[in-house]
Amino acid sequence: MEIGVPLISIIIGEGGSGGAVAFATADKVLMLEHSIYSVISPEGCASILWKDSEKMREAAIALKLTAQDLKKLGVCDTIIPEPSGGAQRNKSKTIETVGLSLNEALKDLDGQASDNLIKNRRQKYLNMGTAGLAA
């Protein structure tokens, strides 16, 4: 969180496990519209909470791991639209759209002083989840 340059995370499929927390420390978090992001898999969560991995659907809903849920919670800043049928259906279009979204995110951060980036990044991280909890 102390890096003095713009930091952008792009989640293109499934961001999971404890290492996924690092993605959230970026200035901007971008997600493909059908990607998911959570610190635990729905199966793992269900196994812990209900001792039954078959309750993964309930766990997935509770985890709020979709790009749309995470935008409401302030974790995801931008949802990147995917081609009809998903990103794998048109890889070149997906790469182009991701590039355009990345460019926009960089424009938003361009010219900010290092100390300002660090301060805003930290505050963004601390605020995560405080908005949209009833979502």
Q: How confident is the model over 79-109, as pLDDT tens digits?
A: 999 999 999 999 999 999 999 999 999 999 9
Q: How many helices (H) and strands (E) does the chain have?
A: 5, 5
Two structure tokens written together for 49: 């909470």
pTM over 0.75: yes
List the domains of the chain with CATH numbers: 8-121 (3.90.226.10)
Length of the chain: 135
* pLDDT at site 109: 96
Identify the three-state secondary structure at position 9: strand
Identify the three-state secondary structure at position 23: helix
